[in-house]
Structure 1
Amino acid sequence: MDGISRRELCIGLPALAGILGSLTTASGLAKPPEGLPDVSRAFAFDELPVHTSANGGASRAVMAGRLPTGEIIEVHETTLPPGAMPHPPHKHRHSELMMIREGSVEFEMDERRSVVGPGGVLYAASNTMHGLKNVGTTPANYFVIAIGD
């Protein structure tokens, strides 16, 4: 990346949540808080709604909707147990950025694989087959920012 390191990007993610506080509510893995204000705000981790997955993992929805500049965005944080996948490999129209906070994950993209740890950033381009698996011995925690419809 030019101008910002992956570490700075991961540290700045909470600030991004505050900047993007003017979104309208939409459905996600877990439903984001109802009635998001049209002003900047912070999202406390312990106040985010939690959705528990069948694999023992959890997701916390932060926000979803359309930015004032027109982009559609959805932000959530996932905790993935060792050896687990959030879902089978898939593809979709929107693009995704995944920022690894803790743990070690294997990212599969169009039959290529890469293992990344804390501070790593993954990019799943639109309509690209991709999947994620926790290949570490501890839970993996990561943020997802989905952009587009």
Structure 2
Amino acid sequence: MIIGSLSGSLSSTSLAQATSDQPIPSFALPFDQMTAHTNGGSTGRPILNGVTHSGAHLEVHETVLAPGAMPHPPHHHVHEELFLLSKGTIEITIAGKSSTIGPGSAAFVHSGEEHGVRNIGQEPAQYFVIAIGAEA
């Protein structure tokens, strides 16, 4: 699962979605033209979902998480994820260790490690996830 309760709507409507035998096509699309999906006070935007020229699965999405919200309960999956936080403050727990990160920060979750994210700030937190490897 990529971002829990938002994932069903996100993965099925990604902006650049390649067929099983074709890599993700090149594209440029302004942020304000990306389709947003809401769930409560949180918003998600799919950016791309498909395979690279080397055959690796790549999925990217943006999330704006409401204060106090979690996108889903802690979980684990085969693919790896890179979180890039652009606004707000989140607590990310990876393999039982919690860290607080702010704007400009990054977190990486290795395959199979349990992890979870929660907005611990008083304002929305915006982050981008780059998921690499086998789909969950």
- Could you tell me the TM-score, scaled by structure 1's length? 0.76
Q: Is residue 2:64 matched to residue 1:79?
A: yes
Q: Which whole-Å CA distance do the structure 2 matches of 1:64 and 1:35 have between them?
A: 5
Larger mean CA deviation between 34-43 and 138-147 belongs to: 34-43
Q: Which whole-Å CA distance do the structure 1 matches of 2:101 and 2:24 have between them?
A: 36
Equivalent residues in 2 for 1:1-149, closer than 5 Å: 29=10, 31-33=13-15, 39-54=25-40, 56-149=41-134
Could you say if the C-alpha distance between residues 28 and 121 of structure 1 is closer, same or farther in structure 2, counting changes exceeding 3 Å? farther
Could you say if the C-alpha distance between residues 39 and 66 of structure 1 is closer, same or farther in structure 2, counting changes exceeding 3 Å? closer
Displaced runs of 4+ in structure 1, greater than 6 A? Answer: 34-38
Greater fraction strand: 2
Counterpart in the other structure of 2:5: none
Could you say if the C-alpha distance between residues 79 and 38 of structure 1 is closer, same or farther in structure 2, counting changes exceeding 3 Å? closer
Q: CA RMSD in A?
A: 1.9
Question: In the TM superposition, what is the alpha-carbon distance from 1:34 to its structure 2 partner?
Answer: 6.3
Question: In the TM superposition, what is the alpha-carbon distance from 1:117 to its structure 2 partner?
Answer: 0.2
Cα deviation 1:1-49 (Å, max 9, x = unaligned): xxxxxxxxxxxxxxxxxxxxxxxxxx76251136779653212111111
Q: Which whole-Å CA distance do the structure 1 matches of 2:89 and 2:95 have between them?
A: 20
AA at the equivalent of 2:42: G
Q: Among the aligned pairs, what percent are the same residue?
A: 42
Cα deviation 1:91-129 (Å, max 9, x = unaligned): 000000000000000000111100000010011110100
Gaps of 5+ in 1: 1-26
Gaps of 5+ in 2: 1-7
